[in-house]
Amino acid sequence: MAAMAARSADTVVVVGLGVIGLSTALALARRGVRVVGVDRFGSGDARTSSTGLSRSIRVAYAIPEYARLATEALDRWAQLEARGTRPIMHLTGQVDLAAPATLAGLAGGLGAAGAAYEELGAADIRRRLPGIVVGDDATGIFHPRAGTVVADAGMAALASAAVAAGAELRAPEGVVAVEAAAGGVRVTTGAGTIAADRAVIAAGPWTGELVGPLGLDLPLAPALAQVTYFDVPELVGMPAIAEWGADDGGGVYGHPVPGVGYKLGFDAAGDDPWNPEAAPAPDPAEQERLEGWARERLPGLAGRALRSDRHPWTMTPDGDFTIGSLGPITIAAGCSGHAFKFGPALGELVADTSDGTPRPAAAMFALDRPALAGPAPAPSTPINR
């Protein structure tokens, strides 16, 4: 189908106001498009993916397109922060611990993005992460443009900027259906029908139920991920950490959280089912396993867990996002556990996709890529990006 030319007089309905939906609403509104954003619960609700105190941000990706997208996101988060009153980013750098082959891939991505990094031996790792326990043969890298996005501040800044740019944000208002109609789209909500020129579906784990009637069977796996916060305010200046699992096995990541201390999580969700209507309850057994990792690697965190939170994310078979258009309807789905950091950069990419503006990096997220022709992954598949 031929690309649709962007028209400032267009009306676009954005379904879902998580980090990608809000970022897309902002990007489109700044282009002069009339934007109506709709969310069944409201941004940041505990039942949604874009909730919680913090998210990690890093440029260390083995795939150069991701490293470049992360660099763009850092710049865009900084611009939002400069226009607001609350800090959004807390950048202390990140130490990645992994086998040499994995580190070589990360270094390649960092180099392709023009990002600085330092290769680390065991002594360097201990210097960067005081109190960490590693063997004398440990290897890692450190890159400074990494750390933490203060999630609620970032979401508030996106919403405020979108409204200031002219977007109308409606919540709570559930969307029942999105369908192509003569001259555009028709979006049916619990409050009525919205006629528009285009629509963007960025509904997180609810995406499948909205795109199925469009004839699109996406292999998405909603899953429940858990993180644990530790009461160690003295470590709020410590770098973030990622210990990559061997042979695509699960690993652990963590980062400082201003006002709290430090946060840790496994890079894989559990297998228990996602309930679309309920805020997920934490799993004490998973917290215990994570505290066991902390006792071995970062013993300064032992015994100081404050609480654990759970939230949904949506895995794809290859760990890449799913972004593309079916005529006037654009889909942005499959966060795969690592999308939040990219928020404002993904908003621009999704807006370009809706406008019909080609973006070379978008090919890896295409709706017709081979990975989306197979079955959905297990919910507990580790993040591999």
Per-residue tens of pLDDT for the chain, all 385 residues: 333 344 456 999 999 999 999 999 999 999 999 999 999 999 889 999 999 999 999 999 999 999 999 999 999 999 999 998 899 999 999 999 999 999 999 999 999 999 999 999 999 999 999 999 999 999 999 999 999 999 999 999 999 999 999 999 999 999 999 999 998 999 999 999 999 999 999 999 999 999 999 999 999 999 999 999 999 999 999 999 999 987 666 899 999 999 999 999 999 998 889 999 888 999 999 999 999 999 999 999 999 999 999 999 999 999 999 999 999 999 999 999 999 999 999 999 999 999 999 888 889 999 999 999 999 999 999 998 9
DSSP state of 341: G
Residues 355 and 277 in one domain: no
Task: Please report whether residue 77 resides in a domain.
Answer: no
- Phi and psi (nearest 5°) for 325? -120, 145
- Phi and psi (nearest 5°) for 123? -65, -40
* pTM for this predicted structure: 0.95
Q: Where are the beta strands (DSSP E) in the chain?
A: 11-15, 34-38, 54-57, 89-91, 94-97, 118-120, 140-143, 147-150, 168-170, 175-181, 184-189, 192-196, 198-201, 221-230, 240-243, 252-257, 261-266, 305-315, 322-326, 329-333
Residues 132 and 186 in one domain: no
3-state secondary structure of 289: helix
Residues 292 and 344 in one domain: no
Contacts of 348 (CB under 8 A, 6+ apart): 23, 27, 72, 76
In this structure, are residues 265 and 227 in contact, taking their beta carbons and an 8 Å threshold?
yes
Residues 113 and 42 in one domain: no
Q: Where are the beta strands (DSSP E) in 156-289?
A: 168-170, 175-181, 184-189, 192-196, 198-201, 221-230, 240-243, 252-257, 261-266
> Which CATH number do you get for residue 27?
3.50.50.60
CA distances from 111 to 50, 62, 142, 147, 383 (A): 30, 10, 13, 19, 22
Task: Report pLDDT for 7.
Answer: 46
- Spatial separation of the C-alpha atoms in residues 80 and 88, rounded to whole Å: 8
Residues 289 and 161 in one domain: no
**Tokens 């270094």 belong to which residue?**
107
Looking at the structure of the chain, the number of domains it has is 2
Task: Please report whether residue 97 resides in a domain.
Answer: yes
Alpha helices in 166-213 (DSSP H): 207-211
Residues 140 and 234 in one domain: yes
Residues 232 and 291 in one domain: yes
Residues 172 and 311 in one domain: no
Task: Please report whether residue 57 resides in a domain.
Answer: no
Burial of 1 from C-beta contacts in 10 A (0-12 / 13-18 / 19+): exposed
Domain boundary among 315, 335, 350: 315
Give residue 334's domain range: 11-50+153-219+317-373
Task: Please report whether residue 378 resides in a domain.
Answer: no
Residues 230 and 138 in one domain: yes
- Spatial separation of the C-alpha atoms in residues 133 and 116, rounded to whole Å: 25
- Spatial separation of the C-alpha atoms in residues 342 and 146, rounded to whole Å: 12
Q: Do you know the residue count of the chain?
A: 385
Residues 234 and 280 in one domain: yes
- Phi and psi (nearest 5°) for 322? -120, 105
> Which CATH number do you get for residue 100?
3.30.9.10
- Spatial separation of the C-alpha atoms in residues 156 and 360, rounded to whole Å: 30
